[in-house]
Amino acid sequence: QVQLVESGGGLVQSGGSLRLSCATSRRTFSNYAVGWFRQAPGKEREFVAGVSRTGLDLNYADSVQGRFAISRDISKVTVYLQMNSLKPEDTAEYYCAARDTFSGKPYWVPLTPVEYDNWGQGTQVTVSS
């Protein structure tokens, strides 16, 4: 199991920016693919962005493509989600998730919640219009 701690959420006006962080103390975090998901009230949890364990392969939901950027700092065992041009529809609880993909292909980025077995507690992002 990997403990994940999200931070960086908050209240921002439409068009503003936030940077979310997903931190762990696990030294082997570089073996894990990491994804960001979000869940708004009454809606299913949805994929936002993901990064492979190498950090070289990225994947984004169409709704955030060009506005959000995921990156990882291997040395600091942290994954970031830079969110720009935020919209009210981005309002949700944001979750970081991790999956050990060391035995799989290095470019693999899992896209669905069931493919991840480690989750953080979430951080709230609220975008006002």
Q: What is the pLDDT, as a whole number, of residue 109?
A: 96
* Strands annotated E in the chain: 5-7, 10-13, 18-23, 32-39, 46-51, 58-60, 68-73, 78-83, 92-100, 118-119, 123-128
Q: What is the pLDDT, as a whole number, of residue 28?
A: 82
Q: What is the pLDDT, as a whole number, of residue 76?
A: 65
* Burial of residue 32, with CB atoms counted within 10 A of its CB: 0-12 exposed, 13-18 middle, 19 or more buried: buried
Q: What is the pLDDT, as a whole number, of residue 104?
A: 87
CA 109 distance to own-chain centroid: 12
Q: What is the DSSP letter of 67?
A: T
Show the low-confidence residues of the chain (pLDDT under 70). Answer: 76
Q: What is the pLDDT, as a whole number, of residue 127?
A: 98
Q: What is the pLDDT, as a whole number, of residue 8?
A: 98
